[in-house]
Structure 1
Amino acid sequence: MLPTELLIHRYSGEEIIPKRLKLEATNVAIASELISLFRDVVGQTQGKLNRQLQELEGDTPDYRMKRGLAHLLKSAMCTFEIISPLEPQQLRERVFAFAANTLPSPQATPQTLNRLADSLSKELEREVFPDQIRAGLYADLAENRILTQFEEPTPEALLHRYNLSQVQGVFYKASHIILNVHRNDPGEYKLLFRYLKLFQLMTYIEGDADHGFTITIDGPASLFKVSTRYGLDIAKLIPAMLHVTKWNLKATLQTRDFYTNEPKLRHFSLKDDCGLVTHYPPGKPYDSMLEASFADRWDSLKSEWKLEREVDLIPIPGSVMIPDFRLVHPDGRTFLLEIVGYWRPEYLRKKFSQVRQSGCDNLILAISERLNLEKAGVKVQDTPAKIIWFKDKLAPKAVLAAIADSN
């Protein structure tokens, strides 16, 4: 996404209109030139990349647009790494220690680097050259990091990403969002709700899969203290929306008047025919690395129980619950598994309230021992589910044991 200073929009009454770039020859040429620049700098420093971007940017009036495109390439499609024989801080200590044993002089520097290169070659069991030491001394500075990988997009894909990022930036200061989704495939609803869960958004949900859902989302400007981080989480939802066929949303934005600096409400609306293109994969995301790790470990377990990711929506008042996994036995028995590893108190209270309202008698709740449930005001003993406690990783065998105890 784009930082606030690179967002470009205009006003039409109370409506805010973010800038979008047309896929025309001029814009495609600018995107192509930037992509070519990044491609040519692979293997070189971030400092050199920045200097070349400044030269390309020049003093043209469209510098913010070029800077925005470059930001997306750098932040989303580049990998910068520290290249050094040792961690730079350790390397500096070693160089300074060697240098302390000689009189400071221009002639002593090459001797110090040669001696340390010989020492490190023996220690690391690979050849280390003086030039590598010289380059690695301050390799941890941002400008000295090396561009090692560049996932080159097409010019059109970069322009689509830019347009999407400009729209996402509108939601940084949203105070209230109403999202209507209707007449969609059940799989699209599930994917949307998984993203809502993934980004830990504060929502109130009404409706069902047959008639559609109305989802009310509280924005960062509705909190007692505006949270930029939460605004970013809302913005992350927009690419997920583009996987849904029928939808529309209206957002209320808490902005300030340009002249008086007084608070001013503005509005923004978006719908399924907006023409934006998502870069999110259509697959079903895991809500955390914890869930992904559990699924991988289950695959290596020889068990009659089949682990399923696609779980039906469980409607509850004001929301829906989508358990993380379903366990299915060949004889027809099923259990639902929900993993609770997120620490935010309001999330914990909401999660346990959902469990109590779900009415599921086949639910297994796996809870991290690191969570301070008492501080969050959660009483586990009031939870009508089978409880499993875990530390860092949830063991599949612990889940199988819980199933066995339930029989």
Structure 2
Amino acid sequence: MLPTELLMFSFRAGLVLPKVLKPSPTNLSLISQLVGLFESHVGHRRFELEAELRALEAGRQDYRVIRGLAHILLTDHSEFEAGGSVEPLVVRQQVFALAQEHPPGRHHRAEVLAQAAQRLGSDPQALTEALYADLPDQQTLMSFEAPEARTLLDRFNLAQAQGQLYRAYNVIITARRNEPARYKQLLKYTKFFGLMVTVEGDADTGFTLTMDGPTSLFGSTTRYGLSLAKFLPALLHVTKWDLSAAVKPRHLPWIDSKDEEWSFQLSSDDGYVSHYPEPKEHDSALESGFAERFAKLDTPWTLEREVDLLPIPGGVIIPDFRLLHEDGRSVLVEIVGYWRPEYLTRKFAALKRSGRTDLIVAVSERLNVEKAGVKLGALEDHVIVFKGVLDPKRVLELAERLAQG
């Protein structure tokens, strides 16, 4: 993804339109120059490469395009290391210690480096190069994997679209009629990226997914905005969808707008290309951590990951797990990580409409439920509020009580 200062977009009639680079001769030539520049600097320090990049963009109106393409090449296609045979930290410790022992003088630096080199079994020139070699601009470009020009264009264009979700109030996805497996895949993507989502609709006509954005949370979080942005390439694996996001305006001198919110819209027909491999399994960190801890327990309960869609009036829920006892009893488990009061209220309303009495809801204590004004009502006996990690023993205790009923 790209930092905010490298996002490029136009603004028209309340709509944010991300920059799209086409495979024109000019752009392909620019990519060829950039790739050649990186390839020629393998084995050289990062500051040398960055100096060449600054020289390339000097005086050009498309300098931000160059910076955006270079950012992707630097972060996703380049490997930087300190290089050399001596650890920079070890060199600094030795050199600084010797510097304290030698009084300043005309040959002070050379004497210190010579003595340090002798102690470390190296030479003064190698120590000079290694002294600060672990600093970012002093690191060496060890390898560079050049992408295809079209692949780099696709990454740049998608990154521009992703960046519009950093400041989203909410995101609404309309999944038009798909294969049933595609619906499940879409919902599992939201769970994998830890997104707060409510679902309405049915498998015959399609579903509407509403996801709360980072600016709707108590204390806007960059981390959640990044999760929304990371979700977009995953969404591209799903067919037939439309996305609409309400975006917090950016006050820029070249945009004359007093709107309180902007609109960002995408669809499966816009031609964006995902660089994500289609995953075989999706788990959030909360879910995978819970499963790992559960696997260490000696219990007659089995934890199942694959749970079918459960239709409810006006929507669907897809629990994270099913607990299956060896005697045939079962309980569903839903883990809620990020949340805000309105989201949790809607979530509980959906669960109440489901009429399920065999459902456990584990809620992360990111906010105090009572202080936030969330009414648990009839679901109070089905809720576990956890801090940090979810203890599977607590879940099993509640599963035993619910399964008895």
Counterpart-to-counterpart distance in 2, 1:383 and 1:186: 32
Q: 1:42 to 1:301 in 2, by over 3 A?
A: farther
DSSP 3-state at the match of 2:276: coil
**Is it true that 1:197 corresponds to 2:191 in the alignment?**
yes
**1:190 maps to amino acid:** K
Query: Contact 2:177 / 2:205 at 8 angstroms: preserved in 1?
Result: yes
- The CA deviation string for residues 136-176 of structure 1, in whole angstroms up to 9 with x for no partner, is 43234321133345443211111011111222233344444
Aligned-partner Cα distance in 2 for 1:150–1:36: 11
Aligned residue in 1 for 2:228: 234
1:25-36 → structure 2 map (5 Å cutoff):
25-36=25-36
Match of 1:280 in 2: 276
Distance 1:46 1:313, change over 3 A: farther
For structure 1, list consecutive stretches of 5 or more residues without a partner in the other structure. Answer: 122-126
CA contact (8 A) 1:305 1:330 kept: yes
Give me the whole-angstrom Cα distance separating, in 2, the residues matched to 1:246 and 1:46.
43
Is the counterpart of residue 214 in structure 1 residue 208 in structure 2?
yes
Q: Residue 270 of structure 1 aligns to which amino acid in structure 2? A: L
TM-superposed CA distance for 1:183, in Å, is 1.3
Residue range with higher mean Cα deviation, 29-38 or 255-264: 255-264
Partner SS for 1:10: strand
Question: Helix, strand or coil: the match of 1:263?
Answer: coil
Compared with structure 1, are the counterparts of its residues 111 and 170 closer, same or farther at alpha carbon in structure 2 (3 Å cutoff)?
A: same
Cα distance change, pair 248–352 in 1 and its aligned pair in 2 (3 A): closer
Separation in structure 1 between the aligned mates of residue 210 and residue 338 of structure 2, nearest angstrom: 23
Cα distance in 2 for partners of 1:385, 1:307 equals 18
Alignment match, 1:270: 266
Specify the code of the residue in structure 1 equivalent to 2:116: L
Identity of aligned residues (%): 43
Aligned mates of 1:343, 1:225 — CA distance in 2: 12
* Count of equivalent residues: 398
Match of 2:321 among 321, 325, 340: 325
Matches within 5 A, 1:4-403: 4-83=4-83, 85-86=86-87, 88=89, 91-105=91-105, 107-119=107-119, 121=120, 130-220=124-214, 228-255=222-249, 256=251, 258=254, 262-263=258-259, 265-284=261-280, 286-289=282-285, 291-292=287-288, 308-315=304-311, 320-326=316-322, 334=330, 336-338=332-334, 342=337, 349=344, 353=348, 357=352, 360=356, 383-384=380-381
- Residue 100 of structure 1: CA displacement? 1.1
Taking structure 2 as the reference length, the TM-score comes to: 0.76
1:180-201 Cα offsets, whole Å, 9 max, x none, are 1021123322232233234444
How far apart are the structure 2 equivalents of 1:366 and 1:49? 49
- Separation (CA, whole Å) in 2 of partners of 1:181 and 1:37: 43
CA gap of 1:404–1:83, structure 2 versus 1, over 3 A, is farther
SS, match of residue 54 in structure 1: helix
Q: Call closer, same or farther: CA 1:304–1:48 in 2, change over 3 Å.
A: farther
Structure 1 vs Structure 2 CA RMSD:
4.4
Pair 1:175–1:260, CA change in 2 (3 A)? same
